[in-house]
Structures are given as C-alpha cells and as structure tokens.
C-alpha cells in the first residue's frame, strides 16, 4: 500500500518542524524530523512510502497535487503547525478533491493541542494522530490496508458522522532503540543540502537520541504537546552506531545536530556516548541542545569526542523571571557553565527570550547585560512565542496579553514570526524593538567582531557556516525587524 508523508507547501524554506515554526532570519531550516521517523516505521513494516518536504524543495501546491495523484496513496500523513494551520487545512482540502478515496491524517503540535477546534475549522480530512504518532500511524496504515476498524487505535481522533471521537491516548514509546535511524530515511528521501542550522557545520544531519524533557519550562511546546515531560533515551551504543552509519554513508556531511530537547539531561550517558565515539575512532563534529548545568568533566569529554557547540537557552538575566517561567536554573550556574565550556573548548549558542511573566524594561536590560557578560559564540534575542497546549499560552490568554488568536497573523507577509504577546508593561512592538537593539549591541562590538575573524582564520571550516548564516542574517541586523516581526529559531 502506498503512503504519502507530507510536509505541506507554504512559504519556501518555512521551517515547520522547529519549536517556533517560521521562515528564519538565520536561514535555519529543520529536517521534517517527526515525519521522517514515522516514515521509517512505516517502511520497516513493508509499506511503500513517499516523503515529500515541499518547503525545502520549493514545491508549489500544484506540484504537490501532481505528485500525489501520480503516486495515488491510500493514506496521507500531513504535518501541521500553529502559524500554518489554515494553509495546512487548505492543502488537505485540495488533496482530498483530487484523491477523494485517500485517508488524510493530520499530525503535529497544533492538532495535538486543539483537535476539536481543528475539526470545526475544516471537514476535508479524516483523522488526527495526536502527540507521539509513529505507531498510531503504523496501526492506522495496517487498518486501512486490511480494511478493518480504526475504533481501537490509541492516539487517534476522527469523525464518526457529526461526532468527533477521541480514542484513548497512546502511551509514549519506551523502547527507543526500536525506532529506525532517521539518517537512513534522510538518505532515501531528502537532500542534505536543503537543510541548515547555523550552530552546526554544513551540510549536516539531524537526529534524535531521546524524546521528551523532564524540565518544566512553561513555553516549550514539544514536551507539552508531542513528547511528554520525561526523557526516554536510546542506548549509547545505538546513538554511536548511527554516528558511524552517517560517517560511512554521507561523505558530504560535515556535522551532526542532536535535536533532543535537552541532550545533556543524563550526564553519565553523555560521557558514555563520548567515550564510545572515541573508542570507535569516529571523527565528525556534532552539536546538541543543552542546559547551563553541564559539569566541566562532561563538557571536556564531549568536546574531545567531537562536540563543537551546544545550543543553550539562558532566556533571562533576571532570576525572578527565570523562576516565573519554571526554568529551574540559577544565574550562578550560567556563569560557571560558560567558564567550564570555554575551558573545555566547546562553543555555545545562547538563546535569550523576552516577554515572559514579570518582564519589565529593567529586566530586559539585565538580559542584555547577561548576554554580553557570558559572551557566547553566537546569540539570539527574540520575543516569546506562545503556542496552544503550553502553559505559557494559557498564561497569555488568561492575562489578556495575547493580542490575537487568528493564527494567520502569527507570521508576517514574508513568513517571519509576528510578535503577538505583550506584558503588563511592554507591548509586542516594544519587545521586538528591544530584540533589534540587543542584537546590534551584541554583534557589533569590536571585541566580538575581531574574535570571529580570528576564529575563521584559526578554523577555516567555520567560514562556510558563518557565511551561509551571515548573508541571510545581516539584512535584519542592519535594518531591524518590521513593526511586529521577530524571526528567530527557538532553542
């Protein structure tokens, strides 16, 4: 049976799979991570699957419709996100017109958070696979192939007549080693040169070594809508085996990005993975998401094993605001972490977010002071973006800080983020203006500029990564953002 797995067309280079979906200032474009894992699960079960990433390939709706009709799938899986939901539903409707007998299922953060609302918006699709959907989709494919009932498929929401039925939720996957290597799916279906993250060498491959996050940050959408607040991990042996596969099968790839919400949750596991990489002599540079609580010995061993950088959410320079967002982090830990990272020669990309509960003009300046004091390799400043299903979204709605619930207005005409949240003291426009100010203050320091030039001279391999990010980023650094717009990737 043919199954079409689709990242729907929208803006070209629209990065739907990242935590804050948008076209980005840095040129970042995520792999369709969760779709790729589901594709691998289906292929392992014997289904004939076509994975299409329309934004990465620059495919129009017409081209996607032509490919779909030629492939003639019985089951179609389409990704969604909050800012693209109206577009995504429109794409599903148009596919249904040309393939009326296909079974169209939506997946993603938005439909997981608001399945009833989505069914009210449009009736031209068949089901929603809620939360972590790999095996929900597999069971659905088997049911459609055998023409059997879908009423017992955990994690599925569907319409029966005029009634929307929510089957019981599916337990999160425990045996993470059973999931396919995403790199094998990428090799078959995707072009590595379409994807970019400025924190990794280019071209790069993104993989997941564990799902979920035990931390309680109120704004983070993936743990609260898809993966849960618990870290389920692949074994170190499985992770390193995929590193070896990438090294052997992708001669063009120069970096790996570990896209776990927080790779460094389990420090011992980080050390075990690093030791295995060293033992097997796998030489490839890699990057991961982390918190500012990693000890020096772990950082040292990770760096020795090829970890070139970590993406870290520092968020705020005000301890009260960190507490308000349930960050679970002390400022003192951030200072110590940066000291240890420099000593271990591991670069840090720092994320700084404004607009959280309690934000004031004074706390904004404390955040900028923190960024300059920490002086990470790169930094980004962005207003908070809240998404349905998160505690931050409920806070913004309850306080009246959410300026619109029309999701189409959450992006600008160019597909960049549109700031839609204010605070008691600060409007969305003021938050965006501060981010433009902070960005210039951080990047236009003579000390910073000279350090980057020296870095390129010392490590010529950095040139491609920096040039690719800089040529997109520089226009926003110079002219700033348009009135409501802030386009950056959430770490």
**pLDDT tens-place string over residues 122-147:** 889 999 999 999 999 999 999 999 99
- Output the pLDDT for position 264: 97
Q: Is the pLDDT of residue 247 over 50?
A: yes
Q: Comparing 185 with 161, which gets the higher pLDDT?
A: 185
Q: Does domain 176-479 have CATH number 3.20.20.140?
A: no
- Map out the domains of the chain as residue ranges: 2-130+133-166, 176-479
Query: Once rounded to an integer, what is the mean pLDDT over residues 285-308?
Result: 97
Query: Once rounded to an integer, what is the mean pLDDT over residues 66-81?
Result: 97
- Percentage of the residues of the chain whose pLDDT score is greater than 70: 92
What is the per-residue pLDDT across 306-333, written as a single tens digit (0 to 9) for each?
999 999 999 999 999 999 999 999 999 9
- Output the pLDDT for position 435: 94
Q: Is the pLDDT of residue 460 over 90?
A: no
- Output the pLDDT for position 483: 44
- Output the pLDDT for position 488: 35
CATH class for domain 2-130+133-166? alpha beta
Query: Once rounded to an integer, what is the mean pLDDT over residues 110-121?
Result: 96
Q: Is the pLDDT of residue 485 over 50?
A: no
Confidence of residue 471 (pLDDT cuts 50, 70, 90): low
Query: Once rounded to an integer, what is the mean pLDDT over residues 363-373?
Result: 97
Q: Is the pLDDT of residue 458 over 80?
A: no
Q: Is the pLDDT of residue 490 over 50?
A: no
What is the per-residue pLDDT across 171-224, written as a single tens digit (0 to 9) for each?
999 999 999 999 999 999 999 999 999 888 899 999 999 999 999 999 999 999
Helix (H), strand (E), coil (C) string for the chain:
CEEEEEECCCCCCCECCCCCCECCCCCCECCCHHHHHHHHHHHHCCCEEEEEEHHHHCCCHHHHHHHHHHHCCCEEEEECCCCCHHHHHHHHHHHHHHCCCCEEEEECHHHHHCHHHHHHHCCCCCEEECCCCHHHHHHHHHHHHHCCCCCCCCCEEEEECCEEEECCCCCCCCCHHHCCCHHHHHHHHCCHHHCECCCCCCCEEEECCEECCCCCCCCCHHHHHHHCCCCEECCHHHHHHHHHHHHHHCCCCCEEEECCCCHHHCHHHHHHHHHHHHHHCCCCEEEEEECCCCCHHHHHHHHHCCEEEEEEEEECCCHHHHHHCCCCCCHHHHHHHHHHHHHHCCEEEEEEEECCCCCCHHHHHHHHHHHHHHCCCEEEEEECCCCCCCHHHHHHHHHCCECCCCHHHHECCCCCEECCECCCCCCHHHHHHHHHHHHHHHHCCHHHHHHHHHHHHHCCCHHHHHHHHHHHHHHHHHHCCCCCECCCCCC
Query: Once rounded to an integer, what is the mean pLDDT over residues 429-454?
Result: 88
- Mean per-residue pLDDT over the chain, rounded: 92
Q: Is the pLDDT of residue 445 over 80?
A: yes
- Output the pLDDT for position 434: 96
- Output the pLDDT for position 216: 95
Model pTM?
Answer: 0.91
Query: Once rounded to an integer, what is the mean pLDDT over residues 81-102?
Result: 96
Confidence of residue 467 (pLDDT cuts 50, 70, 90): low
Query: Once rounded to an integer, what is the mean pLDDT over residues 418-428?
Result: 92
């Amino acid at each position: 049976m043919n199954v079409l797995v689709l990242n729907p067309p929208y803006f070209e280079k629209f990065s739907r799979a990242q935590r804050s979906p948008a076209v980005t200032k840095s040129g970042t474009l995520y792999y369709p991570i969760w779709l790729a894992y589901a594709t691998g699960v289906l292929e392992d079960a014997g289904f004939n699957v076509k994975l299409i990433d329309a934004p990465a390939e620059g495919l129009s709706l017409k081209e996607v419709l032509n490919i779909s009709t030629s492939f003639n799938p019985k089951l179609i899986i389409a990704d969604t996100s909050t800012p693209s939901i109206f577009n995504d539903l429109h794409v599903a409707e148009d596919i249904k017109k040309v393939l009326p007998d296909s079974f169209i299922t939506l997946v993603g953060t938005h439909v997981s958070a608001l399945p009833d609302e989505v069914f009210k918006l449009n009736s031209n699709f068949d089901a929603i696979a809620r939360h972590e959907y790999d095996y929900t989709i597999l069971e659905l494919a088997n049911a459609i192939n055998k023409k059997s009932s879908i009423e017992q498929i955990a994690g599925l929401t569907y319409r029966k007549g005029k009634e929307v039925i929510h089957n019981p939720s599916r337990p999160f996957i425990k045996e993470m080693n059973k999931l396919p290597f995403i790199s094998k799916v990428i090799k078959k279906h995707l072009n590595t040169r379409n994807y970019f993250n400025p924190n990794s060498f280019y071209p790069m491959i993104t993989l997941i070594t564990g799902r979920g996050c035990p931390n309680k940050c109120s704004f983070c959408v993936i743990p609260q809508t898809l993966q849960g607040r618990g870290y389920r991990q692949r074994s170190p042996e499985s992770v390193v085996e995929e590193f070896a596969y990438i090294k052997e099968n992708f001669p063009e790839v120069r970096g790996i990005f570990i896209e776990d919400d927080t790779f460094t949750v389990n420090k011992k596991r980080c050390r075990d993975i690093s030791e295995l990489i060293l033992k097997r002599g796998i030489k490839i540079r890699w990057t991961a998401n982390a918190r500012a609580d990693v000890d020096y010995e772990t950082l040292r061993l990770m760096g020795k094993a090829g970890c070139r950088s970590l993406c870290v959410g520092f968020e705020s320079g005000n301890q009260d605001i960190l507490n308000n967002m349930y960050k679970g982090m002390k400022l003192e830990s951030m200072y110590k972490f940066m000291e240890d990272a420099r000593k271990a020669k591991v670069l840090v990309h720092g994320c700084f977010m404004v607009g959280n509960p309690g934000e004031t003009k004074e706390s904004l300046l404390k955040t900028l002071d923190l960024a300059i004091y920490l002086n990470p390799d790169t930094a980004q400043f962005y207003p908070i973006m809240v998404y349905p299903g998160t505690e931050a979204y409920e806070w913004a709605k309850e306080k009246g800080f959410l300026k619109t619930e029309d999701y189409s207005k959450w992006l600008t005409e160019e597909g960049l983020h549109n700031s839609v949240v204010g605070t008691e003291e600060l409007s969305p426009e003021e938050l965006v203006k501060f981010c433009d100010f902070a960005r210039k203050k951080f990047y236009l320091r003579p000390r910073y500029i000279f350090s980057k030039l020296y870095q390129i001279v010392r490590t010529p391999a950095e040139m491609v990564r920096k040039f690719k990010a800089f040529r997109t980023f520089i226009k926003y650094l110079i002219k700033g953002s348009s009135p409501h717009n802030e386009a950056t990737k959430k770490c």
